[in-house]
Amino acid sequence: MALITLTSDIGHKDYLVGALKGQLAQINPAFNIMDISHELSPFNYPQAAYICRNAIKHYPPHTYHIILVNLFEKKPEQLLLAFHRNQYLLCADNGLLTMILEGRPEMVIGLPLDKTAPKNTLYCVGVMGRAIQNLIDGNGLLSIGNPDPAFTEKNHLRPVFGDNWIEGQIIFIDAFENVIVNITREEFEEQRKGRHFRLIFKRDEVIEKISETYADVAEGEKLAIFNSAGYLEIAIQKGNAAGLFGLQDFTEQSQNTYLQSRLFYQTVRVYFE
């Protein structure tokens, strides 16, 4: 039976996550529903894209991923159902889809909404759940919505490159306050070309070595590591890097306003020499 994941910025303080699962169970009690996260920061597209991108790729082919992030940034006129690399993604038409996929999906359809229905989260999940059931019943992807609709696209947050440097942005801070930067191991090594490097953040904090594990440094010392998703991570052995250094997520608002006074706390620069 269909494997469905749920990802949202709803949190767990009220009834809504449970109600969403109940809504899906009404459509098909045999749905196998799994949570990715419900603790995403509201309005933080780079964080949501990072979490979804690096979770989705580990699921079996033809898993359905319901993503409820910034669902009502604007009044919804359609929802999106995309098929890409053997995964189905269902989300709002708010630009997050192309940020997750780092480009356009292989196929996308628009799921129409009843103009008279209340546009709340439960209604939207019902539309998504019925679309999933239609696919399970053998209906073609193009028969359950509008093929190739116009939809909102946003570019995923990429690091900035110079001849002798990379500047990355902090896209996630985990439960241990380890700081994740949007520089992948591949980008780092391609730019490094075997050279020595200095990783600098918050003006004067410097790291000059990539560790393989947290245990490579003494307790209380800072380190840089590439995490299991292949992204650069700044941490403190048995400490809280974000809190100690005052580091913050680089949000979409930061990207739009680009306030230099805040960027010291949201960016990391690597110099090669």
Domain that holds residue 57: 3-147
139 with 171, same domain?
no
CATH number at residue 176: 2.40.30.90
The more confidently predicted of residues 253 and 66 is 66
Average pLDDT over residues 92-116: 96
Is 153 within the bounds of a domain? no
189 with 256, same domain?
yes
Predicted confidence (pLDDT) per residue in 220-260, tens digit:
999 999 999 999 999 999 999 998 888 887 765 555 544 44
Last residue of a domain, one of 115, 147, 179: 147
95 with 224, same domain?
no
Is 152 within the bounds of a domain? no
Is 130 within the bounds of a domain? yes
Average pLDDT over residues 73-101: 95
Distance, in Å, from the CA atom of 12 to the CA atom of 35, rounded to the nearest integer, reads: 12
% of the chain exceeding 70 in pLDDT? 94
143 with 8, same domain?
yes
Strand arrangement of the beta sheet that strand 146-147 belongs to: 32-37, 3-8, 64-68, 87-92, 78-84, 107-112, 146-147
Is 32 within the bounds of a domain? yes
Report pTM: 0.91
89 with 202, same domain?
no
Is 67 within the bounds of a domain? yes
pLDDT at residue 261 is higher than 60: no
Is 141 within the bounds of a domain? yes
71 with 190, same domain?
no
Last residue of a domain, one of 114, 147, 180: 147
pLDDT at residue 35 is higher than 90: yes
- Give the DSSP per-residue string, the chain: --EEEEEES--SSSSHHHHHHHHHHHH-TT-EEEEEES-PPTT-HHHHHHHHHHHHTTSPTT-EEEEESSTTSS--SEEEEEEETTEEEEEESSBHHHHHHTS--SEEEEEE--TTS---HHHHHHHHHHHHHHHHTT--GGGSSEES----B------EEETTEEEEEEEEE-TT--EEEEEEHHHHHHHHTT--EEEEETTTEEE--EESSGGGS-TT-EEEEE-TTSEEEEEETTS-HHHHHT-----HHHHHH--HHHHTTTEEEEEE-
